[in-house]
Chain A
């Protein structure tokens, strides 16, 4: 209701270009009708997002029920420390997002701008770390179910001994970095300092990705000691230990009770896929865990990227000084979305990384 009160006092300054009249769409009767509509709209949108992910959570629950032993084993292959780092980064970004909303509500555009930039950098750090995690797994043949074929050690590396997959994943961020930095310089040279500021912000945002990558790689090298193979072995050890268990329980699946009670024709195929005497390597059926892992984290990452685009939009608008006490809706809406994306990660992290 604070909005309603300020509305009347500011009503006079029509020539002031900050007047909310500028931002109220013609079909709304009042700023607060617009705000309420936006707020309800974003909440409903978040409900659809939750339902969208809920399909995957159902999948997770079912398959964990069908094959608890696979989940027990497979999660050892996710790096808890990197996951934890990402969790902290995202939680921190939620804090800065909340502060950005607060700043917008009090009309402090400058602060809002800073907080939003920090939020975006956190988001890209998250993606950088995720890229390191993904590429490392791909190097070891840890793919979704049908492509899953675990092998130890990395066969090929690219420049600086980096994973080829990591290099491929970083192509787009690199292009973005060059593009944004170059454009910022161009704008600066043509005396459009205002625009330049935005592109400098974008450059910093993309740098976050590389910070994440560097952090992740340094960490991995540190635990690897001297040789890559060593690292792989270390992480893989529990997998091999458990491989025998999986094989057995897949074979003895007939006494499993199934939630849908429709028999277990699919399980028969399952262990047919596992080569006999595969104790030495990881059975391919473990891939189902990673199918679900990639679906969930991949969809989440897409939402992070979407979030960054939205953040960039309100970042620009804070630079233009759009927010005031009676007009800050967009920051609020993006904030809610961002908190949801964080929240989903808060569920994904323990469900996927911390199964024990």
Chain B
């Protein structure tokens, strides 16, 4: 251990205040300038060239994965895990859509249908979307973006993954041992107390998944606070980190309330403690309040990381400094905080006082403002940028489009009078799929394509990547756009049979769902193929300026074998092309003879 510490060569940093921090920053910059003149081709090759050993092959055997504390491996394992959950819940969705092809279909019994949509929703929400971007992508890049070796609490990080496995198993245990689950993912009382199905399994699973999520959030908050590189101030953080930070705040503040709610539900079901059960004087609407106090903020747990990914992609692939950095950064925090005050918009028709509904409606409208701020900033970033329409960028653009629709229809639902009509119809279903699939899933895919070369050191096939994006985009719209229409015309959600006049909409939607499914499969196919057979790529093929791109691809076990340069993550001019390595390098390391002069003055 001592040796290791020596090797890092970093003595205690006593940084009590800002001034000292700035001084330090200057000395770091100074030292690096010295390095510059000395960076030989050999050094360059050693730091940025394709390494012989990396985090993937430095140790072998299943134990080296199962007990790893390396955030990169944990991220990869999480990615595999959430992908399995996605495919499983996606299969449920396709079965549901197949059932709905005919208005009086009896492909599934009505009971089975109820169980199918419940498991689809519960697995997608708790086991896939919530952990997807933070725990898989975030885990991989967050420490690297800080120039750190790992997250603050690596063991807790691994524990989070194992809790995810246990929680997901319990959730699925509801089908295997609990005889299905038919409450909907919201577990509303009193039905959830009465039904004989596996509510206890599922709620316990969600409870455990909640802890998994808290562990990730806590870890990220601490890591961003204490493990930034010297000189890396808050405003030099990539926006992805701001969004992960805001997400973590929600995870830490909202999830415990879900935890206690689910425990109370279990207690109610087993002992009838009479807090939610009307038969014993309990208040079933109270459950809804408790549930949405978590679950509305949870929808921001789902979307904020996606927004962070998009901020990175838009900026990198238009090679332009992100427009309105601080607006995007603070809008994440604003969304996180305002998100706690709007849960009542899910309960406009559940019996709240008119005054309360009014207030919730008003705050709901205001929460749309920071979301719009982001969209406008992304558009402004694109303006006059040199746009590269490769796979990740296409995903990013489709995100903006789909999230825009999803967010705006949220306002329809947040308006009191329209919501009375639209509540519990397919309009709501379409709304949240636009934000969750069109938003988060699209961002996840975009982010995977963006960071894949870093994670596995190989480039994907851009043509097939773009095809996958087109299929996802088209399939998605064909699936969910008709749902807006039929919802507005009164088709209620969660019904196994319906009036014949809606049949055509359902049929279009089902066709779209299969196209969407093929698109997602293709995307994963392209990625997996690339990880195995793709062309080797350099450390920074896209000329991104955030710190994770200063590691080799794939990164070393310790992330960096040098002290990465701390620079502005949106100053793309700081990276210059190196022919030998066929990749971009920080100016400090590039061959001075071949380095073009700075285009713009350095911002600090």
Contact = CB atoms under 8 A, between A and B. Distances in A.
A binds B: yes
Given A44-B221, A48-B218, A55-B264, A33 B227 contact: yes
A260 B286 contact: yes
Contacts of B353: 260-261
Contacts of A14: 2
B10 interface: yes
B218 A266 contact: no
A348 to B, nearest CB: 15
A27 B351 contact: no
Contacts of B257: 51-52, 54-55
A56 B280 contact: no
Given A24-B5, A37-B222, A288-B274, A267 B281 contact: yes
B260 A55 contact: yes
B153 to A, nearest CB: 6
A17 to B, nearest CB: 11
A273 interface: yes
A1 B227 contact: no
Nearest to A146: B272
Interface string A173-208: 000000000000000000000000000000000000
B280 A30 contact: no
Contact of A21 (B2, B16, B222): B2
Contacts of B261: 55
A346 interface: no
A260 B352 contact: yes
A269 B214 contact: no
Nearest to A35: B226
A37 B352 contact: no
B281 A1 contact: no
A152 interface: no
B12 A145 contact: no
Nearest to B289: A260
Interface string A8-43: 100000100001011011111111110011001100
Interface string B133-174: 000000000000000111111100000000000000000000
Given A19-B2, A63-B275, A288-B274, A29 B10 contact: yes
B602 interface: no
B274 A146 contact: yes
B1 A26 contact: yes
A260 B13 contact: no
Contact of B149 (A26, A54, A294): A26
Contacts of A48: 214, 218, 252-253, 255-256
A63 B264 CA distance: 14
B273 A146 contact: yes
A1 B221 contact: no
A8 B13 CA distance: 11
A37 B351 contact: no
Contacts of A58: 290
B1 A144 contact: no
Contact of B227 (A22, A31, A37, A47): A37
Contact of B218 (A21, A41, A63, A267): A41
A325 interface: no
B279 interface: yes
A146 B1 CA distance: 58
Nearest to B155: A25
Nearest to A291: B273
Tier of interface size on chain B: 35 or more
A282 B284 CA distance: 25
A292 B289 CA distance: 18
Contacts of A19: 2
A32 B12 contact: yes
A59 B271 contact: no
Nearest to A66: B283
Contacts of B272: 144-147
A67 B286 CA distance: 15
A270 interface: yes
B592 interface: no
B283 A269 contact: no
A10 to B, nearest CB: 11
B282 A266 contact: yes
Contacts of B252: 44, 47-48
A219 B438 CA distance: 66
A166 to B, nearest CB: 20
Contacts of B274: 144-146, 287-288, 291
Interface in A56-104: 56, 58-59, 62-63, 66-67
B533 to A, nearest CB: 33
Interface string B219-240: 1011101110000000000000
Nearest to A298: B267
A127 B458 CA distance: 59
Given A30-B11, A30-B13, A33-B13, A59 B275 contact: yes
A316 B173 CA distance: 39
A52 B254 CA distance: 9
A44 B1 contact: no
Max count, chain B CB within 10 A of own CB: residue among A25, A62, A147, A292: A25
Interface string A275-315: 00000000001011001101100010000000000000000
Nearest to A30: B12
Nearest to A33: B226
Contacts of B214: 48
Contacts of A137: none
Nearest to A56: B260
Given A30-B12, A37-B152, A40-B221, A260 B351 contact: yes
B218 A44 contact: yes
Contact of A262 (B154, B256, B351): B351
A63 B11 CA distance: 56
Contacts of A56: 260
A145 B14 contact: no
Interface in B268-320: 271-275, 277-286, 289-290
Contacts of A67: 281
B593 interface: no
Nearest to A26: B4
B43 to A, nearest CB: 23
A147 B122 CA distance: 32
B58 interface: no
B260 A52 contact: yes
A266 B261 CA distance: 19
B225 A1 contact: no
A41 B252 CA distance: 11
A26 to B, nearest CB: 5
Contact of B256 (A7, A8, A51): A51
B417 interface: no
Given A41-B218, A144-B274, A147-B271, A52 B285 contact: no
Contacts of B254: 51
A40 B222 contact: yes
A295 B276 CA distance: 14
Closest 10 CB pairs of A and B: A145-B274, A262-B351, A146-B272, A55-B260, A291-B273, A27-B150, A21-B2, A27-B149, A261-B353, A270-B281
23 contacts: A14-B2, A21-B5, A24-B1, A27-B154, A40-B225, A41-B153, A41-B219, A48-B256, A52-B256, A52-B257, A55-B261, A144-B267, A144-B274, A146-B272, A147-B272, A260-B351, A269-B280, A269-B281, A287-B274, A288-B274, A294-B273, A295-B267, A299-B263
Given A144-B274, A147-B272, 6 more contacts: A24-B5, A37-B222, A45-B218, A261-B356, A285-B281, A288-B274
